[in-house]
Structure 1
Amino acid sequence: MPRNEPTQVTDGWDGGRSPGRRKAVRYAVPVAVAGVAAATIGLVPAFAGSGSPDLPKISAQDLIAKVAKSDVQQLSGTVRVSADLGLPSLPGGGAGGFGGAQDGGKGGDGASAAPQKKLMELASGAHTLRVAADGPEKQRVSIVDKAAEYSLVHNGNEIWAYDSGSNTAMHSTAPDAGRPGKQHRAPKDLPGGLKDATPQDLAKQALKAAGDTTSVTVDGTAKVAGRDAYQLLIKPKQAASTVGSIRVAVDAANGVPLKFTLTPKSGGAAAIDVGYTNVDFAKPAASTFSFTPPKGAKVVDGDKAQAKTQREHGKDLPSRKDVKDAEKDMGGLNVLGKGWTSIATIKGDGSGLPSGKDQGAGGDAGKFLDSIGEKVHGSFGSGRVFSTRLVNALITDHGTVYVGAVDKQALIDAANAAK
């Protein structure tokens, strides 16, 4: 068979506005399997085998169609994720470990088992996840730390979240449970809340951006988790984008994305790198999705806890009218540009961020903002740019916000054009 070469470039490809493109985001492995848009730091040795396999030649369009037609609903394996997004350190330190730092590791009211907390922990550093799926009603993801383990288990109408560090378990009922004819599904803020940590989910988001602003190439082959894979290379054509390239390793046999790597245009380590270190597409054992709280574990009723929170804090939450009034006051959210250089903007109310020169309560906050934000000027006036390796934000002294995966000059140009 002829060796696949990186010659299939699809500059100007229509982004899949064809039926195949519309299906390109349908990945059969449920998105509830795992999740976080997290990722990377040179994990190539952990994923790549020795040498590149010889595979039949394939075009980028056909490879994307292969991903779209993939109907894998059963798998188990280990996913390695790490993040190097260049986020600034916040005063007081970041999120705690698996032991429930915010409640002293005692579990508190079950906060240490709440999935939302894990999102913050997975936003940086390296982590290992064990994942399993058997259709839309059974998923499990375990985040393995050196000292503890955190697991989310969805089995039919039941959802368990367990933090071994605090020995706390949270039990919830899946949406639609008890409703005739309705399929149970994991809620958005549980397994779905830990979303975008598998290569499938991240590849889906990348393919959504493919269009006339994108170059898509089949760039050779690789061995990932012991399986033969094609490498799909996605590059923005727009110079102002902070994204250098996205590389997706696609299983040659079944079309499942096995590895996702996003490298910033500035170079260095990947900002997002997620990949299977091992994967098995056989049906997982039924016991994989069974969960019984360990002896002595504190068990929290997640449904009651949520209802209690709504009762206690519901009156403090903004009403729909309040939200609409706030959007009107801010001028609403607007998106400038298209593709990789889209910039979201929210019009300010005339009051900007505090400065380090300010006296009183705002002084300390202003000094901190001065330390992480770069002062910029333009015909729009002045403001600060806050930067990470991928996303930059400009907040003008009038309070208007411009944010996107674009360079600093693109934000200044957008502010100048909108003044």
Structure 2
Amino acid sequence: MSAHPAARRLPAPRVLILGIQHLIVMYTGCVTVPLVFGSALGLSTETIGVLVNADLLVAGLVTVIQALGISRILGVRLPIVAGASFTAVTPMILIGQQYGLQAVWGAMIAAGLFGVLIAVPFSRITRFFPPAVRGAAVTIIGLSLIGTAIGMITDGASSIGGRLALAGAVIALIVVLMRFGRGFLAQAAVLIALLAGTAVAGALSMADFSSVAGAAWFGLPQPFHFGAPTFPIAAVISMCIVMLVIFTESTAYMMSVAEMSGQRLRSGDVARGLAADGLSGVLGGVFTSFPDTVFAQNVSLLQMTGVRSRRVVTVTGVLLVVMGLLPKLGEAVASLPTVVVGAVSLVMFATVAGVGITTLSTVRYEGTQNMLIVSLSLGIGMVPVVAPDLYSTFPTTVQIIAGGAITSCVIVAFVLNLLFNARGQQAHPAPVPAQAAAAPALESLEGQR
């Protein structure tokens, strides 16, 4: 019997290189969260650097926990990479502007504890997240993040012709390697394209690594960097709502990765994965980081490479922890040219949307109102993307809920599913991969490793 995809052993050099590829694919998206948050609140460059280090440290710890698990308490034990959730950015900015920075991380600690406490009951209502809801959620995540990739490609440049040409060449190289490459060459297509693009960007003076020299070699995030946390009720409620959306997002991805890996996901597995997300909120509140979720582009990387090994993402998690403690190393990766990272991210985010569309293809539309559920949730979810200022005059709570593409899409899909499919049952079950038939026995073997 062949090894389960999530437990399959690969040669150490390949595990290391594939782990680095996962790291580079998620790195920019992960550090974008503290960069956007810090810029919006006018924080100094030094302070933003503290947030970045803490962000990487917590993401690494949670990634390792999700991949390896801690007994029967934490971790889904799937090949997933955790990173700072984009869903939390806007609410955190609004809380910081209204209540101050101490309230941001106080509310996060409270939301993290809330997440840990409700992980088990939330995992038992996964029947209310059939493919129509999960597929809409994953699709809107991919679509809403494409703008972020385009922003990295253009990066505010007045003349973008050269940047577009380089981005196009990076994307073309990924396509060529995926089409004609074999084995490891195809699996490392994203990393190869990124390195090649960086080399070209350097030759064209579009890359700057001068800041690496001034970065410190070692730095440990300081707990409660902004002082003792505070807990305004409105801020806590807002972040608890965000945690629920993060749970929905993570649940959809855990199910997608489990299907890719041929593993049957039980409610207990989901609960442990969600509890790890909740723990990220607590750790983030203490170390001034951010709540984590399953990172979208790494799910798409699993789909592209076909490598589902937990050992690969464990390496990624360890490297993230190291980078969180070694600012100089983190600065080197952060200095990768945005145009190249943006091109890679465009492929990743588009693939995320494709994963969601694949899930939506398993939905039975005939004789149901599932088409309305999918169409309306996607339509309302796209409103903040195409009209970002529409809700700017509304109260803060409304902005937090309705002003986020992911939040609004998930809420609409969930409510409409309850309305039209009262029992929350999936009318047309998604096909179970052939490997899933052996999942219980394989899970038993995996638990003994």
Same fold by TM-score greater than 0.5: no
> Whose helix proportion is higher, 1 or 2?
2
> Which structure: larger Rg?
1
Name the structure, 1 or 2, with higher relative contact order (CA <8 Å, separation 6+).
Answer: 2
Taking structure 2 as the reference length, the TM-score comes to 0.20
Taking structure 1 as the reference length, the TM-score comes to 0.21
